[in-house]
Homo-oligomer: A and B are copies of this chain.
């Protein structure tokens, strides 16, 4: 059984840690360009202060209460109190997109609940009392919309949400007040980012065009892990900003519109590259393969950028050494905390890069034949 083919590095969870299935290795609708769709709702519960104003002992009581509510609402949920996890385990949760960066480093009592299939999760005591999330591979707003709202309705039958008839859901930070809804679509845009040979402006031009279109719709574009500057591996997140005065349906419509537009740009850029200079694409993909299967040290960022090239090759059907599910599994399983969890100790950066390179060689070696 190959490392890269596994649903998860840790099917049973080492040291009592539960990890969900790696749904990211599935391919959903528009998989050529869209990696995944995510939706989250920010909710707070009547009878408790907002997080910034918790009284002594209130966060503990709230976490215990919400844990019980969630496990009653969805008995298949796994629940972890974040402080009970090691820092590596908390980082792993972040690398799986189950919790936010803030939820990893916080000092407060807080937790995370998730379904075994990993497609639904809830953060407890993040910025808001509840952050209810649903995920799907590919571009699938319907699926995440249906699941996040089903869970939200279920929880709403058990607790009383902070709700204002005029503004909507009240949240810790006003930027979420209203719908409390954030929809994010993770897109793989290597051809938008791959400049025509000799054209140093190409990349910027297409990215500026995308950012302008996003701004007009009140949407933002960021990188894989929320970074605003460059997007590692050419993975870009499109998400809505506005939660007040715009209905969930309108928000979804805006996101859908931009995503469809960007999908078309990316596809037509891919076609143009294939038509104008197929040899350059071939070279781009085979170099990535040569490096991934031979390098002895690979940083997370370099590995991601080569995996991005392989994903492009696989999706264009010009490269057949490895399938997209293996690539997407590696994209997650090779992140730093996943590696440390596997090694069962903290690793120096060079050790991590060497372990990563070895695992990639093993995974790609065995998946190719």
Chain A residues within 8 Å of B, Cβ to Cβ: 277, 279-280, 282-283, 286-287, 289-297, 350, 354, 357
Pairs A–B under 8 Å by Cβ, sample size 5: A282-B296, A287-B291, A287-B294, A290-B291, A290-B292
* A286 surroundings in chain B (CB, below 8 A): 294-296
Min CB distance, A79 to chain B, in Å?
41
Q: Which of B277, B283, B354, B357 contacts A295 (CB 8 A)?
A: B283
CB distance from A41 to the nearest CB of B (A): 46
Contact partners of A357 in chain B: CB under 8 A? 283
**Residue among A291, A294, A350 with the highest chain B CB neighbour number at 10 A:** A294
Most chain-B Cβ atoms within 10 A of its Cβ — which of A287, A293, A350, A357? Answer: A287
4 closest A-B pairs by CB: A290-B294, A290-B290, A283-B296, A283-B297
Residue of B nearest to A298 (CB): B283
Q: Give this chain's copy count.
A: 2
Find chain B residues with CB under 8 A from A282 CB: 296
Q: Which of B290, B295, B296, B350 contacts A293 (CB 8 A)?
A: B290
For residue A291, which residue of chain B has the nearest CB? Answer: B290
Chain B residues with CB under 8 Å of A354's CB are 279
Nearest Cβ on chain B to A284's Cβ, whole angstroms: 8
Find A294's partner among B277, B280, B289, B350 (CB 8 Å cutoff).
B289
Question: When chains A and B are docked, how far (Å) is the Cα of A294 from the Cα of B286?
Answer: 5
Complex Cα spacing A328 to B174, Å:
67
CA distance A296 to B280 in the complex (A): 8
Partner of A279, one of B280, B287, B292, B297: B297
Residue of B whose beta carbon sits closest to that of A285:
B296
Alpha-carbon gap, A289 to B277, bound state (A): 25
Contacting A287 at CB < 8 Å: which of B277, B295, B350?
B295
Distance from A243 Cβ to chain B, minimum over Cβ atoms (Å): 45
Chain B residues with CB below 8 A from A290, complex form = 290-295
Which of B279, B291, B296 is A350 in contact with, Cβ under 8 Å? B279
Bound-complex Cα distance A283 to B298 (A): 9
- Distance between Cα atoms of A350 and B286 in the complex (Å): 16
Chain B residues near A297 (CB-CB < 8 A): 279-280, 283
Report the nearest B residue to A287, measured CB to CB. B295
> Bound complex: CA of A283 vs CA of B297, how far in Å?
6
Q: How far is the CA of A21 from the CA of B213 in the complex (A)?
A: 63
**Nearest Cβ in chain B — how far from A369, in angstroms?**
16
Closest to A288 in B: B294
Cα distance A290–B357 in the bound complex, in angstroms: 13
Report Cα–Cα, A239/B107, bound state, in Å.
67
Expressed in whole angstroms, the Cα–Cα distance for A292 and B291 within the complex equals 10
On chain B, the residues within 8 Å of A289 by CB distance are 294
Query: Closest CB-CB distance, A363 to chain B, in whole Å?
Result: 15
CB A84 to nearest CB in B, in angstroms, measures: 36
Question: Shortest distance in angstroms between A348's beta carbon and chain B's nearest beta carbon?
Answer: 11
Closest chain-B Cβ to A306's Cβ sits at a distance in Å of 10
Q: Which residues of B contact A293 (CB under 8 A)?
A: 290, 294
| CB of A8, distance to nearest CB on chain B (Å) | 28
In the bound complex, what is the Cα–Cα distance between A296 and B285 (angstroms)?
Answer: 9
CB distance from A102 to the nearest CB of B (A): 31
Query: For residue A297, which residue of chain B has the nearest CB?
Result: B283
| Residue from the set A279, A282, A290 with the largest chain B CB neighbour count within 10 Å | A290
